[in-house]
């Protein structure tokens, strides 16, 4: 089971890094989403995979096993933060797309006059 979870985290991370390195805005947003999913799965699996155990200690049976609730709380917080971040990035990318009619990230900006032929 650990091998399956570790390979899922690796595939999500690899896909996210590949999409972040693209020169378009929307694949970058998808890549960041994949990376946040990879972090969520990693955090969730760091608490251990315990089935049918309570998330709290029982004061009458302190030696009974329990599930650690901290990774679950961290994942819930990370889901909320990544959702808000994704919404913000979509709005920024949409504004840039509506302004320039393309979602391409251009590293070579033209000069202030707007004429590229005179600058060569």
Cβ within 8 Å of residue 82, ≥6 positions away: 33, 36, 40
Q: Answer yes or no: is pLDDT of 112 > 70.
A: no
**How do residues 4-33 score in pLDDT, each as one tens digit?**
989 999 999 999 999 999 888 899 999 999
Q: How far is CA 61 from the centre of its chain?
A: 39
**How do residues 30-68 score in pLDDT, each as one tens digit?**
999 999 999 999 988 887 767 777 777 777 777 777 777
Is the distance from CB of 25 to CB of 105 less than 8 angstroms?
Answer: yes
């Amino acid at each position: 089971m650990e091998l399956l979870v570790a390979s899922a985290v690796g595939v999500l991370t690899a896909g996210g890094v590949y999409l972040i390195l693209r020169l378009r805005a929307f694949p970058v947003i998808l890549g960041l989403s994949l990376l946040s999913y990879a972090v969520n799965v990693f955090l969730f699996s760091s608490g251990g995979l315990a089935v049918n155990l309570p998330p709290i200690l029982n004061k009458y049976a302190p030696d009974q096993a329990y599930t650690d609730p901290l990774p679950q709380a961290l994942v819930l917080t990370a889901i909320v933060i990544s959702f808000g971040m994704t919404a913000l990035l979509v709005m920024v990318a949409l504004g840039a797309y509506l302004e320039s009619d393309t979602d391409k990230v251009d590293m070579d900006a033209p000069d202030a006059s707007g004429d590229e032929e005179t600058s060569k």
